[in-house]
């Protein structure tokens, strides 16, 4: 097998672009997400284009039993995971706290925090057994700042920031690198999901400036994995040039 990289949430956006970047560089991939048809299409496409092996696993990262089942069913030759990219995540809704939808809150907490923890809890011991590895957590500018109606999403990404720091301390004796990549505005399906399918409103989030693309973030993730053994990028905050902070974006007038 080539170097094995596990990417969660590879059915669109940053995860899909990252799968392509690692496939180009001859990694064998475990890719996950809930949408089976997309996973299978991506696996077929990348496998034939780049001549690598791909193990697609469709499950909901919020459900501990499904994560356990995924790990249990992983064939032995796929257990030697060198790189884990904890990318699956979402924002659901954009409401002030007093009007928040509690189902949305639970979905974000269960996916962005608990899902990331379930996967990490399963994979970190495998890395320890192999004598090393690299865990990359996808954080956000929302993990550094809080903006209006971002409340729970921002809290989950602050949690990813804290968990990244905690993982780095706990995994230090085992030679496991832990990196956080924290993007600003990236045009993916993120806003369509957050705004519950309102594509017109989602398009406006990225109008009037050049947002980041999934590919931009994939390049940075890949770069972080190419450094010498003794070098680790702890944290990267990556913004579109037109974005200064969570709330200041320079948009061209139409």
Least distance to ligand 8X3 from the beta carbon of 54, Å?
27
Q: Which two tokens stand for residue 71?
A: 């790990």
Closest separation between CB of residue 187 and ligand 8X3, Å?
A: 11
Angle between helices 13-24 and 214-224 (to 10 degrees): 50
Instruction: Please report, as ranges, the residues that interact with ligand NDP according to CB under 6 A.
Output: 9-15, 33-35, 60-62, 87-90, 111, 138, 140, 183, 185-186, 188-190, 193, 214
Within 8 A by CB and 6+ apart from 129, the residues are none
Q: Please, what is the minimum distance in Å from the beta carbon of residue 141 to ligand 8X3?
A: 5
> Is 14 an interacting residue with respect to ligand 8X3 (CB under 6 A)?
no
Q: Which of 137, 140 has the CB closer to ligand 8X3?
A: 140
Where does residue 197 fall: left (phi above 0), alpha (psi -120 to 50 degrees), or beta otherwise? left
Number of other CB atoms surrounding residue 106 within 10 Å: 14
Cα–Cα distances (Å) from 175 to 123, 124, 167, in that order, read: 14, 11, 12
Least distance (Å) between residue 175 CB and ligand NDP: 26
Binding ligand 8X3 (rule: CB under 6 A), the pick from 52, 84, 246, 249 is 246
Q: Does 92 bind ligand 8X3 (CB under 6 A)?
A: no
User: Which of the choices ligand NDP, ligand 8X3, none does residue 113 contact, using the CB cut-off of 5 to 8 A by kind?
Assistant: none
209 is catalytic: no
Contact of residue 60 among ligand NDP, ligand 8X3, none (CB under 5-8 Å per partner type) = ligand NDP
CA–CA separation, 30 and 10 (whole Å): 9
* Phi/psi-derived region of residue 186, left when phi > 0, alpha when psi is between -120 and 50, beta in every other case: beta
Tokens representing 99 are 């009007």
For binding to ligand 8X3 (CB under 6 A), which residues are involved? 140-142, 150, 185, 246
């Amino acid at each position: 097998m080539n170097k094995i990289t596990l990417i969660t949430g590879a059915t669109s956006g940053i995860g899909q672009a990252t799968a392509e970047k690692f496939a180009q560089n001859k990694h064998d991939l475990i890719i996950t997400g809930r949408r089976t048809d997309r996973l299978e299409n991506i696996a077929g496409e990348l496998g034939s284009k780049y001549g690598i092996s791909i193990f697609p696993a469709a499950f909901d990262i919020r459900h501990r039993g499904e994560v356990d089942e995924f790990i249990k069913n992983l064939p032995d030759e796929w257990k030697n995971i060198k790189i884990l990219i904890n990318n699956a995540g979402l924002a659901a809704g954009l409401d002030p706290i007093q009007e928040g939808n509690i189902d949305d809150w639970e979905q974000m907490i269960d996916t962005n925090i608990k899902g990331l923890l379930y996967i990490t809890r399963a994979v970190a011991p495998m890395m320890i057994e192999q004598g090393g590895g690299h865990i990359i957590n996808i954080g956000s500018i929302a993990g550094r700042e809080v903006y209006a109606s971002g409340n729970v999403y921002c809290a989950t990404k602050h949690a990813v920031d804290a968990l990244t720091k905690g993982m780095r301390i706990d995994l230090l004796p085992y030679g496991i690198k832990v990196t956080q990549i924290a993007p600003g505005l990236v045009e993916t399906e993120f806003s369509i999901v957050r705004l519950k399918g309102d594509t017109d409103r989602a398009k406006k989030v990225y109008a009037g400036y050049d947002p980041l693309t999934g590919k931009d973030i994939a390049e940075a993730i890949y770069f972080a994995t190419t450094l010498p053994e003794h070098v680790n990028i702890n944290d990267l905050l990556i913004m579109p040039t037109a974005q200064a902070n969570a709330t200041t974006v320079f948009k061209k007038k139409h």
